[in-house]
Amino acid sequence: MSPRLRLVIVAAVARNRVIGGDNRLLWKLSADMRHFKSLTMGKPLVMGRKTFESIGRPLPGRETIVVTRDTSYAREGILVAGDLAAALAQAESAAARLGADEIVIAGGGEIYAQTMGQADRMELTEVDLTPKGDTLFPEIDAACWREARRETHPADLAKGNEAGFAFVTYDRITKAGQAR
């Protein structure tokens, strides 16, 4: 992958690392929907087949690359890749077409786990809930990541945010112990 292109994980993660259950999100946070849109607009998104089916459609203004082992998988408006390396290669070409300098890893649990070792940055929405779910975000190794920014928000039902949350940026720490 071109060194100019950054790989960015974007996820909303509960206190107990749950990110979903029954192939859906488990909370309503309107502010996070807007945040996700602003982080991803104009960029290629790599996601697992289950996450794509949970969303149900390609997101406008972004190029969706769906990873699946199903060689016959095809849906209108998406690119399909048979493994992660192929997905990242397709995302790199899409980034060049879109003029984007980032590839977004948009989940779910399987795809986060397989890409965390390569990611340059993580944009996590830390959700102040401990829901029951069946899909977890991988453990964050504190030796590999540095919290660079945190913006906390209280719950506000009138604004469609049913729980408190924080937008947190993690930068990968280089071997020298400094963020890139």
C-alpha–C-alpha distance, residues 167 and 96, integer Å: 28
Closer residue to ligand NAP, CB minimum distance, 21 or 117: 21
Q: Quick one: which of 7, 8, 9, 11 contacts ligand NAP (CB under 6 A)?
A: 11
Cβ contacts of residue 91 below 8 Å, gap of 6+?
Answer: 44, 46, 63, 65, 103
Query: Contact region for ligand NAP (CB under 6 A) — 50-58, 97-105, 156-164, 170-178?
Result: 50-58
By CB under 6 A, is residue 138 in contact with ligand NAP? no
**Interaction between residue 118 and ligand NAP (CB under 6 A):** no
The yes or no reply on residue 172 touching ligand NAP (CB under 6 A) is no
Between CA 54 and CA 172 the distance in angstroms is 29
Closest to 87 in 3D by CA, of 56, 110, 60: 110
Nearer to ligand NAP, 60 or 99 (CB): 60
Using CB under 6 A as the binding rule, whether residue 70 contacts ligand NAP is answered as yes
Nearer to ligand NAP, 70 or 101 (CB): 70
In the complex, minimum distance from the CB of residue 146 to ligand NAP, in angstroms, rounded to a whole number: 21
Residue 68 touches ligand NAP, criterion: CB under 6 A:
yes
What is the DSSP annotation of 30-99?
Answer: HHHHHHHHHHHTTSEEEEEHHHHHHH-SPPTTSEEEEE-S-TT---TTEEEESSHHHHHHHHHHHHHHHT
| Using rule CB under 6 A, residue 54 touches ligand NAP | yes
Tell me the β-bridge partners of 153.
165
| Residue closer to ligand NAP, measured from CB, 20 or 158 | 20
Residue 152 CA to residue 46 CA, distance in Å, equals 27
Nearer to ligand NAP, 16 or 178 (CB): 16
117 preceded by a cis bond (ω within 30 of 0): no
Instruction: Return residues touching ligand NAP (CB under 6 A).
Output: 11-12, 19-21, 23-25, 47-51, 54, 67-70, 82-84, 106-111, 114, 135
